[in-house]
Amino acid sequence: MKMLKKSINFTERSETLASHQSAIKRARQNKKRRVRNAHVKTTVATHVKKVRLAVEKKDIEGAQQALAKAVPLIQRARSKGVFHKNTSARRISRLTREVNALKA
């Protein structure tokens, strides 16, 4: 007697422990979000690094330009839920203080 197999998409299910349809979908969504969030975080980190390097070199103009590019990225990360509201405010505040300290 042959046993019939259920037609389940094993490629999706094998990546997760989820056993029912809604949990499989949730796992799929979480994977997409994790990849997107990682990209946003690394992009923000790169731009923050550029600001800090310009501050280290005492390059006022370069630091201001880098800050002008970094702030909207941090704000966008906040609006997408990648960063908490206070985290984004703190990062922007600290970067701005570092750049303004060059002027003084």
Q: Which domains does the chain have, with CATH numbers?
A: 31-103 (1.20.58.110)
pLDDT digit string, tens, across residues 39-98: 999 999 999 999 999 999 999 999 999 999 999 999 999 999 999 999 999 999 999 999
pLDDT digit string, tens, across residues 2-45: 555 555 555 555 677 888 999 999 999 999 999 999 999 999 99
pLDDT at 17: 87
Burial string for 65-78 (b: 16+ CB within 10 Å, else e) reads ebbeebbebbeebb
Q: Are 92 and 75 in contact (CB under 8 A)?
A: yes
The rounded distance, in Å, linking the Cα atoms of 34 and 26 is 12
In order of 8, 27, 30, 34, the CA distances from 19 in angstroms are: 10, 11, 16, 21
